[in-house]
Structure 1
């Protein structure tokens, strides 16, 4: 049985998070039973979500205009791709204590009421089942476990909204300090162990 993995990168600098994603992909592609799909959210940048696109989701597919079909396809295609894979790998740099806007634009297409989650009397219920996620987080400073790490809770909450609650995190921190080399090596070693478990 093949485990299908979707790797998303979102670094405008093509920096450390990209290197972590490439390390993961190289190892995964060399293993039998693992298939890897790459999506570079910088090279294939999605525009910010606008009212016309949001409105296209509210129109039945058979009733959409040509423009609405084109707009709705942005979300439909991203959701279909996510559903086709078993493991989602997000390689994420930290920008201004958050995630890149390009990655947020992807999430804005994925977090879609009626498609990937629904509202119930008990609160939102995720509709994307049987998936797990890996977060490869590259940071210039040391943020993990501190109040300044608003990035990790945001990512886990968005994933949890659609039903992805099995999330493994690998940090590479202090990359703007003299710890850079050791931090990257430690993260790559953790990735090697992760790939062995997939």
Structure 2
């Protein structure tokens, strides 16, 4: 078994999402002590955003790769393979400007690969990356109605994962963390209680 932890916050020690990904990792490690843990902090070591070489390396057959694509292919494919090898994926997803950090977008860009994680047929798109559990720790300074105005964080992630075949991601929210220390602590404790019930 492999557990993949993804962090993306750029707020250092004040990151609530990191507190929650650690709580989730501790929880799943206690249930699966034999699991291999893969820890990626894209807030501290972000993936490059896509360019033509990286896009081609991910999406084109290897026999069509340019020299630039060949040079980046191993690192690009490693991100996808790491995800596909994981049974549990824990994602720290703070809300930045009503959506996910660009670091999360850059990571998801490596996961949406035609013929690998999805395909098109006469019936429409079909996800091929099911069979793993995805837990999203969603942190927000304010409080937002799901699928409401200004909420493009969870909706984006839910739609993306459904597209690649993961139709049941779990979202655990810590909201109103910008309302002061008491609200922050209450949000963290509530989220930790939900994690403990997984």
**Match of residue 99 from structure 2:** 98
Query: Any conservation in 2 of the 1:140–1:173 contact (CA below 8 Å)?
Result: yes
Paired residues, what number?
Answer: 192
Pairwise CA distance, 1:41: 1.1
Query: Any conservation in 2 of the 1:92–1:137 contact (CA below 8 Å)?
Result: yes
> SS where residue 48 of structure 1 aligns?
coil
- When normalised by structure 1's length, the TM-score is 0.89
C-alpha distance 95-34 of structure 1, shift in aligned 2 (>3 A): farther
Moved more, 25-34 or 82-91: 25-34
Moved more, 24-33 or 95-104: 24-33
> SS where residue 136 of structure 1 aligns?
strand
In 2: Cα distance, 1:32 partner to 1:25 partner: 10
Query: Any conservation in 2 of the 1:74–1:109 contact (CA below 8 Å)?
Result: no
Note the residue ranges of structure 1 that are not aligned, 5 or more in a row.
none
Pairwise CA distance, 1:74: 3.2
**Match of residue 83 from structure 2:** 82
- When normalised by structure 2's length, the TM-score is 0.89
C-alpha distance 128-184 of structure 1, shift in aligned 2 (>3 A): same
Aligned ranges 1:1-198 → 2 under 5 Å: 3-14=1-12, 15-33=15-33, 35=35, 36-57=37-58, 59-62=60-63, 64-145=65-146, 146-178=148-180, 179-194=183-198
Note the residue ranges of structure 2 that are not aligned, 5 or more in a row.
none
